[in-house]
Structure 1
Amino acid sequence: MTPERTKYRRTPYLIVTRERVARKDVYGSIDDHVVRQAQLLRGERDSDTVIVAMHPIGSPAYLPLFPELARTGLHVIGSANRYSTGDAALQMENVLLDLAACVRDARERLGYRKVVLAGWSGGGSPMMGYQAEAEQPKITHTAAGEPSPLAETELPAADGVLQLAAPRSRHRLLTEFLDASITNELEPERDRDAEFDLYDPANPNQPPYSADFLAAYRERQRARSRRITDFARDKLAGFAAAGHPEREHAFVVHGTMADPRWLDPAIEPNGRRPGWSYLGDPAVANHSPGALMRFTTARGWLSQWSLDAAQVDAGDAAPRVSAPVLVVRNGCDDAVPVSHQQQVFQAIGHPDKELAELPEANHYFSGADQRSHLATAADLVHGWMHRHGFMDKH
């Protein structure tokens, strides 16, 4: 069944709570207020179910898929988290608290009876992680080992979860993107191992890459992640030892767009364009200020990006989730590896799960030929919502 497309209206609003903290991680915050900028997208038809979307970067209300869902008649809340000015200091544990505030507001103030969490791209792991914590909580401290309000907060569980072109987690994705040739974090342009520089034409290792080269490359990526994790932990430990436990350290991580999959389409094959990434030419994006994870802090690295310290991972969370789950995989995705969504889907321990694929869709649904794939994605979600009774008005 193809849903009829209708006009929808967009209503902006704020979700405001208070948390007493010693350190301000977000510029422009006033007093102890925590502010999330949200938008409700809905047509004229009433519904007692709302889709709640959140993403680590900005508001998802303007991402292509969520307005398209609203055009099919679904009600959608796209909410930014507290880090609306950038994710350098973002701690995933706080994002789960922000999501709880949004879900609670949707039910108690807006009157929705059912809530379905929707995570597109980097928003996928917080959604699955949130639902796992709502059903079977485990997190009591931040990734930096500091007490988290999550330990004392009851998260209202959602009724379903959507994973839409989403990686398993930001920290696993970034680890697989790290430039393995960098050996000096302070001066990456000086100290590089040319044997592992994917973008050096003199490198004897060229695609298609050998299994031995890939294994060595992946191990060096993991080792680099762990060196940065050790650096972040040492910084925080030093502050604490000096009597300044609330102090923070900001730093830059260079070379974060060097995944061999972009250059070798035989690695986890799908329909992606060889030599290209979701941010364009990966050789250029590798050192672009707009690349994945360029600016961060010690706590932000540990919570968001560290392979060993980060706690929010959709694959790890999935076994604790009993709500129905829809996983949508874009068949020409040039950002999210095929393996990530397969791992999440397989980790879901109950039978009420579906894996749907859009064979010709790229990550952002970008390009003149992608409009129809965007509409198909919205139809898939609409149909899943209908089959699970989320379209009914009680």
Structure 2
Amino acid sequence: MTNKKKAYERVPYLIFYQDKSPFKETYGGPMDFGALKSHLLRPAEPKTNNVIVFMHPVGGGEYLPMITELAKAGYPVIYCQSRYPGNDTALIMEKVVIDLGNCIRHAKEKFGFDKVILAGWSGGGSLSMFYQSQAENPSITATPAGDAVDLTIQDLIPADGIMMLAAHVSRTHTLTEWMDASVLDEQDPSQRDPELDLYNPENPNQAPYSAEFLARYRAAQIARNRKITAWVKDKLTSLKDSGRPNDEFAFVVHGTMADPRWLDPTIDANERKPRWCYLGDPEVVNNGPVGLARFCTLRSWLSQWSYDDSNADGLRCAQNITVPALVVGNGADDACTPSHTTRIFDAIAHNNKEMHEIKGATHYYFGQPEQLNEAIQLCGDWMQRQGLV
């Protein structure tokens, strides 16, 4: 029997870093040290000495179809976890930028890769735009909560190109668009406005929704986000005024999967399945344990989820990016719908950009080899034209 040569080698490794903080927000390990769990996918016959780097604020995507197929196609890939793997309750986006910077520096200095292409998958999209904007023009010295996190002294290495793949515009905008606008009392989510409750069968406003109802609903979603933000700021001020500046406070955000898009497929229309979202039945997810921002802390809310305060607004960050950009939307995506793709593309201020849609593709390409192959081909052709291969 002959041994079939593997298309790529998977090399797990750790990136150790020191990042001083007045309090600990990650589980375990020494106070001022952390480790980023990473995977290098090294093709058996690489087409290039450049590397595609993926990072999601919390995600473990190192085995997703896109990651492995890029490596099989001959492109070196790194998937790096942030310091907050699988848990965004205390996540600070500014610190995730530092993590991504550590990954890119390690890729160039330790592995010897020549160029880096940032690949923003799903929630990694706005992170990649946030990172690249700060690498090109560093300006942030503190988090929205006022804690010192100075990105201007990190010597962040800019990527040479950026790919937005099934990406959303930001965590804050995505949460706000998904929030249940009917919740009136954050302490008692059973208190709801029946005319805004999408899952109330007696609600006179049913899908397909009128333009007037949608405008009212979207305004109520933003108002709810801002109401939580005001409470968060008051709570932080109270802690600081009591002489406990490093104290935190955990809380629950109920009702975070009530976007009218899931019930009315004519809104932001694509080929997605009606009354469904990437996590399943949206009515179940709305109050389930895995919804966005379900478990949160004060500083994390301001950094990740606050509509007005988060620095990681991908649309604002995209305006400051100068490197070549590829934006790919999936035609049946039930997480990142078409308007997110077009908003990202439109926000990129320069003209060296391309936008494509893959018909019928779902968010993850599970069981979709043809759509996955099309996505790999798009990325490869674009990198070739941009001199990134």
Q: TM-score, normalised by structure 2?
A: 0.96
Give the drift of 1:89.
Answer: 0.5
Deviations 1:267-290, CA, capped at 9 Å, x for gaps: 111111111111111111111101
CA contact (8 A) 2:7 2:45 kept: no
The residue type equivalent to 1:93 in the other structure is E
Q: Is the 8 A contact 2:94 2:143 kept in 1?
A: yes
Secondary structure, aligned partner of 1:195:
coil
The percent identity for this pair of structures is 49
Pick which of 249-258 and 151-160 moved more. 151-160
Deviates more, 1:57-66 or 1:305-314: 57-66
Partner residue in 2 for 1:283: 283
1:385 is aligned, of 366, 370, 383, to: 383
- Which structure 2 residues correspond to residues 6-17 of structure 1 after superposition, within 5 A? 7-17=7-17
Structure 1 partner of 2:115: 114
Corresponding residue of 1:24: 24
Tell me whether 1:304 sits opposite 2:304 in the alignment.
yes
Q: Which amino acid aligns with 1:206?
A: Q
For the pair 1:54 / 2:55, whether they are aligned, the reply is yes
After superposition, where does 1:1-394 map in structure 2 within 5 Å?
7-46=7-46, 47-189=48-190, 191-366=191-366, 368=367, 370-391=368-389
State the one-letter code of the partner of 2:167: A
Equivalent residues of 1:27, 1:85 under 8 A apart: no
Post-superposition Cα deviations, 1:229-266, rounded to whole Å, max 9, x if no partner, equal 11111111111101111111111101000000111111
Q: Could you say what secondary structure the match of 2:274 adopts?
A: coil
Quote the Cα distance in structure 1 between the aligned partners of 2:139 and 2:357: 32
Residues 1:115 and 1:77: Cα distance change in structure 2 (over 3 Å): same
| 8 Å CA contact 1:141, 1:151 repeated in 2 | no
CA distance in 1, matches of 2:127, 2:12: 22
2: CA distance, partners of 1:58 / 1:261: 24
Query: What is the rounded CA distance, in whole Å, between the counterparts of 2:81 and 2:133 in structure 1?
Result: 21
Q: How far, CA to CA, are the matches of 2:310 and 2:371 in structure 1?
A: 33
Measure, in 2, the Cα distance between the counterparts of 1:300 and 1:85.
Answer: 15
Does the 8 Å contact 1:142/1:303 carry over to 2? yes
* Distance in 1, Cα, partners of 2:100 & 2:136: 14
Deviation at 1:64, TM superposition (A): 2.0
Alpha-carbon distance, 1:63 to partner:
2.1
Offset of 1:6 from its aligned partner? 6.4
| Deviation of 1:31 (Å) | 3.1
The residue identity in structure 1 corresponding to 2:138 is P
Q: 1:341 Cα shift?
A: 1.6
Partners of 1:45 and 1:346 lie apart in 2 by: 36
Q: Partners of 1:188 and 1:275 in 2: how far apart?
A: 22
Secondary structure of the residue aligned to 1:12 is: strand
**Which one is further off, 380-389 or 194-203?**
380-389
The residue type equivalent to 1:389 in the other structure is G
Look up the equivalent residue of 1:39 and give its one-letter code: H
Quote the Cα distance in structure 1 between the aligned partners of 2:156 and 2:60: 21
Counterpart CA distance in 2 for 1:320 and 1:310 is 16
Alpha-carbon contact 2:11-2:39 (below 8 Å) kept: yes
Deviations along 1:123-182, one digit per CA (max 9) or x if unpaired, are 000101111111112222102122213132221111000100001101001000000110
Unmatched runs of 5 consecutive residues or more in structure 2 = none
Could you report, residue by residue, the CA deviation over 1:199-234 in whole angstroms, capped at 9, with x for unpaired residues? 111111001101111001001100100011111111
- The offset of 1:85, in angstroms, is 4.6
Aligned counterparts of 1:260 and 1:29: Cα–Cα separation in 2: 43
| CA–CA distance in structure 1, aligned partners of residues 201 and 29 of structure 2 | 47
Which whole-Å CA distance do the structure 2 matches of 1:43 and 1:313 have between them? 34
Instruction: Tell me how far apart the structure 2 counterparts of residues 90 and 19 of structure 1 sit (CA, whole Å).
Output: 14
RMSD of aligned residue pairs (Cα, Å): 1.3
In terms of mean alpha carbon deviation, does 210-219 or 26-35 score higher? Answer: 26-35
Please say if residues 38 and 59 of structure 1, whose CA atoms lie closer than 8 Å, have aligned partners that are also in contact.
no
Question: How many angstroms apart in 1 are the aligned matches of 2:344 and 2:28?
Answer: 37
2-structure distance, mates of 1:64, 1:29: 32
Q: CA–CA distance in 2 between the matches of 1:335 and 1:237?
A: 35
Check whether the contact 2:43–2:71 (CA below 8 A) recurs between aligned residues: yes
What code does the residue aligned with 2:248 have? E
Determine the C-alpha separation between the residues in 2 that align with 1:59 and 1:150. 25
Check the 8 A contact 1:53/1:118 in 2, yes or no.
yes
Q: Following the alignment from structure 2 to structure 1, what is the Cα–Cα distance between the partners of residues 193 and 70?
A: 47
Question: Aligned partners of 2:31, 2:237: CA distance in 1, in Å?
Answer: 28
What whole-Å deviation, never above 9, does each CA across 1:329-387 have from its counterpart, x for those lacking one? Answer: 00111111221221111121222101011011011223x4x222122111211111122
Once residues 6 and 137 of structure 2 are traced to their aligned partners in structure 1, the CA distance between those partners, rounded to angstroms, is 39
